[in-house]
Structure 1
């Protein structure tokens, strides 16, 4: 079999390119393995979920099993915990917050596939979806819930995730479980949010998992609103203000 000169040239070029790329991949793998080993030796119990070169030269972004983002130098000699910020002519960009936002959206999307959410669907055309970590006994959560009809009329679908701030084993936590296990969870939620008593109930439920999810994605208080791009908005936001921020009004 013989090849023409152009074909042979392409084959040689491909072989040379492959030879150049293989060492680069090998070096990247060596760096990641070195960083992983150093981190796990220094911090027993820590697990590295993923790793990739950061936008700053010589730095790797490391995501741990606790959801935290940390940074390590390529030689694995230095580790820093905090936000990586890129300075620009007219300000700065928080690269770590960008990474958190992306990670938050991915994590919530994976969880949403399991179902188990108490949902209030948009009326008419759906223009936006928000995920809300909520506590039945939280005053501002109740204030936001009082605007549910307005949110739905504006075309916003609301997905509720349980986040009883007092944690598992508490009365507030059991109250959320009772709502979730009710024959009509949405009606039970409406009643509980208005201060009414909900009949105690128990069943296999995702409340503890949703609570842990909230902690994983950075929720520290309620209500906590997560937008479709993963942006976390802590605290109560009036319906119309939220709609304007979403570009609906």
Structure 2
């Protein structure tokens, strides 16, 4: 009799698990269908149940997060907080940082303009920059100080006025130069540089910046995926970067 009860209980558990899996698959299909219908323009990387029962978490390429109802009829963009003892936790920000870090840290440094740290590299920052941006120039003037503090500075291109702009042409010239750091330094100092046209990642990096939430320059991404908009002094950036583990 006891064996019979155990088998019955196991069968019930299996059926419940199968039902859960089926509902999850149905929800993912419905949500993906809704996102396709509105032509979001950003690929969906994953759909999974969120920490809040009845709400699904949609991870977009680049790291951004949306929320959806299981039937896909309701979509929402915003922050989901978990009220914990001491202070609320921003679950959306936490998830987005993880996704952005994975995306940005996965870019080969060969596609960037890199200023290595002096001595041991303790951490790195990735900066979306535009050579026509005054505050980018100001930050660039403090790169040496960041390097001395053990922070490697990696540049990605973000022509803030879009493809075909003066910044876009300048950035392409930098990326097509045989010595990118030398070309970047010269361009920031107001010198004209010439470089043969080449296949370059400027357009791809511009679109990537948009997908992770960059809407101006400079935009600094810490190693943990935290996005800091605008200029910050070297000492402040270094402190944030060294704590972003």
TM-score range, shorter chain: 0.7 to 0.9
Give the CA deviation at 1:113: 3.3
Q: CA RMSD in A?
A: 2.9
Q: CA deviation at 1:149?
A: 1.2
Match of residue 144 from structure 1: 139
Is the 1:151–1:157 Cα contact (8 Å) retained in structure 2?
A: yes
Whole-angstrom CA distance in 2 between matches of 1:113 and 1:16:
49
Q: Distance in 1 between matches of 2:61 and 2:98?
A: 16
The correspondence of residues 51-200 of structure 1 with structure 2, limited to 5 A, is 51-64=47-60, 68-110=64-106, 112-113=107-108, 115-200=110-195
Aligned residues of 2:172 and 2:200 also touching (Cα < 8 A):
yes
Q: Residues 150-178 of structure 1: CA distance to partner in whole angstroms, max 9, x if unpaired?
A: 11111111110011111111222111111
What is the CA distance between 1:137 and its match in structure 2? Answer: 1.2
Change (3 A) 1:101 1:201: same
1-structure distance, mates of 2:73, 2:174: 51
Q: Secondary structure at the match of 1:191?
A: helix
Please report how far the alpha carbon of residue 27 of structure 1 lies from its aligned counterpart in structure 2 after TM superposition. 2.1
Give TM-score scaled by structure 2 length. Answer: 0.86
In the alignment, is residue 223 of structure 1 matched against residue 239 of structure 2? Answer: no
Pair 1:44–1:140, CA change in 2 (3 A): closer
Question: Which region of structure 1 is more displaced relative to structure 2, 162-171 or 225-234?
Answer: 162-171
In the superposition, relative to structure 1, how do residues 20 and 66 fare at CA in structure 2: closer, same or farther (>3 Å)?
same
Show the counterpart of 1:3.
none
| Count of aligned pairs between the two proteins | 241
- The alpha carbon displacement at 1:107 in A equals 1.8
**CA positional deviation for 1:243:** 1.8
Q: Please, which runs of 5 or more residues in structure 1 have no aligned partner? A: 1-9
Query: 1:177·1:201 contact (CA, 8 Å) conserved in 2?
Result: no
Task: Give how far 1:16 is off.
Answer: 6.8
| SS in structure 1 at match of 2:88 | strand
Relative to structure 1, the CA distance from residue 206 to residue 75 in structure 2 (aligned partners, 3 Å threshold; closer, same or farther) is closer
Task: State whether residues 62 and 212 of structure 2, in contact with CA within 8 Å, keep that contact through their aligned partners in structure 1.
Answer: no
Mapped contact 1:48–1:64 kept (Cα < 8 A) = yes
Distance 1:138-1:24 versus aligned 2 partners, 3 A rule? same
Q: Is the 8 A contact 2:62 2:103 kept in 1?
A: no
Q: Helix, strand or coil: the match of 1:97?
A: helix
Q: Distance in 1 between matches of 2:221 and 2:206?
A: 14
